Amino acid sequence: MSQNLDSLTDQIRDLAEGRQAPVSLAERALARVQSHAELNAFVAIDEEIVMTQAKAAQLRWQNGAPLSPIDGIPIAVKDNYLTRDYATTACSDAAPLEPAGVDATVVANLRAAGAVIFGKTNMHEWAYGATNTTSNVGVTKNPHNPAHITGGSSGGSGAAVAAGVVAAALGSDTGGSVRIPSAACGIYGFKPSYGRASRHGVLPLSWSLDAPGPMATELQDIVHLMPYFLGADPKDRSTAHAKPFGSLPDVGPLKLINLTGAGLERSAEVDGAVNAALRQSAAQVEQRTLQDIDRYFAAWEAILHCEASAYHQPLLQTRAEGFSPVTRAHLEAGTRLTGVELLTAQKLRGDLIRYLTTDLGDWDALVLPTLPVPAPAHGEDWQEFGNRRVTTQDSMTWFCWLGNLSGLPCVTLPIAKSSKGLPIGMMLMGRPGADEALLAAALRIDHTLKSKG
């Protein structure tokens, strides 16, 4: 794995100071794709498409007229975002193979700012899983140890950033798919609040749970990218009242709530790392027990399967064999849930949001590990921790789904390494719509932890 990676923030500074040029950034990224080919992070990359964008950006910088501070910076894109130049396959044989000819809104925003849309990254088929081991182009490998998984479903984006191919990449998150591979690969990942980021052009998994989000080398990189994600988009009605990304608020003393309880178990190693980080955070930390996890998880799973089945009905009826066996089983399960069950799930969803935002009182961030275990090895079907034995798939979404069911913004920070040298991440959840406040709190904590080594 590459060490001392250039962050997006470094690249912005270097471009502004003339110490880097878009063409050299693109050439270096293309070389790193080759040198890290064993990770299988990319589904599609076209050198000509990349260099054409980079040369245009370089000309703009030479003319003193860059489109933005990120003009000419390569950014990789998960293969469920529509992109003008590349096909969008969701790593499934059930998807059409023709380029859409249009960009997803987030991609369009980045392209308008001059970012080099670098290539499409490997993902768990249709984002319907969190291991990145089900993909029609094969598994993705973890840059920290290729014998281990990246997590998913944005596993290619996680591997590409962690290996230093690109400083930042796009992911999408329905039950943790930005945060899971970010934590497993030791980088930063952010899931915006529901209703603030446009999902237009990102192939849906579950409309009301999905969120597009950035994955990057440093937390400040996320701050640089948020303006391209947040704000009203007429093509996504959920964002009708969305505010654009604002300035980060000043944060006073932080109050964190460390959530525990049955269903929130984690390995001793992960628990130790999170507790150590909280002790060092200089924040006020209160521990609270979250009840009824099994009910809330059932609500998340019911909504997920019902919405995914509804979206995929046409393909399910005409190209069902194109789905992997497990994905098809998920979709069929969704067709067998009733309307009453879906509404019961939505009622539980409201209960959870009220509990987290109101009943827990005043807080700046809710804290959980991002994953209960470090990245599992390829071929491990089960994980054991805290007197639990669960599938590797379930272990990956163990905590993260809470952020999607509630719609709260979430960020994962790398906080430690395991005894085997694998990254451990800590997740912070913020108040709904308060993405800037969450980032401000996360920056404070990240800075404090780094300053204490």
Partner 1 sequence: MTKSLTEDQEKRIAATLKRIRAGLSGAAGDHFGEPSHLFDPEAHDVAKPR
Binding site for partner 1 (CB under 8 A): 208, 232, 234, 237-238, 240-241, 292, 294-299, 301-302, 305, 316-318, 320-321, 325-326, 328-330, 332-333, 336-337, 341, 343-351, 353-354
Report how far residue 227's alpha carbon sits from residue 5's, in angstroms, rounded to the nearest whole number. 23
**Cβ-based nearer residue to partner 1, 233 or 446:** 233
- Distance of closest approach, residue 123 Cβ to partner 1, in angstroms: 21
**Cβ-based nearer residue to partner 1, 3 or 317:** 317
* 257 sits in which H/E element: strand 255-260
Q: How far is CA 145 from CA 141, 218, 414, in A?
A: 8, 21, 16
**Cβ-based nearer residue to partner 1, 27 or 394:** 394
Q: Is 324 a catalytic residue?
A: no
Report how far residue 112's alpha carbon sits from residue 227's, in angstroms, rounded to the nearest whole number. 12
**Cβ-based nearer residue to partner 1, 248 or 304:** 304
Written as six digits, the tokens of 126 are 């249709």
Which one from 78, 120, 141, 191 is the annotated catalytic residue? 78
Kindly give, in sequence order, each residue whose CB lies less than 8 Å from that of residue 78, ignoring residues fewer than 6 positions away: 120, 121, 123, 153, 154, 156, 157, 169, 170, 171, 172
Written as six digits, the tokens of 303 are 């909504």
Find out whether 426 and 179 touch, Cβ atoms under 8 Å: no
- Distance of closest approach, residue 434 Cβ to partner 1, in angstroms: 18
Q: Is 78 a catalytic residue?
A: yes
**Cβ-based nearer residue to partner 1, 69 or 432:** 432
Radius of gyration of the chain (CA): 20
Which one from 153, 182, 198, 238 is the annotated catalytic residue? 153
Report residue 360 CA to chain centroid gap: 26
Q: Is 2 a catalytic residue?
A: no
Which one from 7, 92, 177, 182 is the annotated catalytic residue? 177
Report how far residue 393's alpha carbon sits from residue 420's, in angstroms, rounded to the nearest whole number. 21
**Cβ-based nearer residue to partner 1, 296 or 363:** 296
Measuring CA to CA, which residue among 70, 94, 57, 88 is closest to residue 316? 94
- Distance of closest approach, residue 220 Cβ to partner 1, in angstroms: 32
With H, G, I as helix, E, B as strand and everything else as coil, classify residue 366: strand
- Distance of closest approach, residue 327 Cβ to partner 1, in angstroms: 10
Measuring CA to CA, which residue among 21, 210, 241 is closest to residue 106? 210
- Distance of closest approach, residue 320 Cβ to partner 1, in angstroms: 5
Report how far residue 28's alpha carbon sits from residue 178's, in angstroms, rounded to the nearest whole number. 25
- Distance of closest approach, residue 354 Cβ to partner 1, in angstroms: 8
Active site amino acids: 78, 153, 177
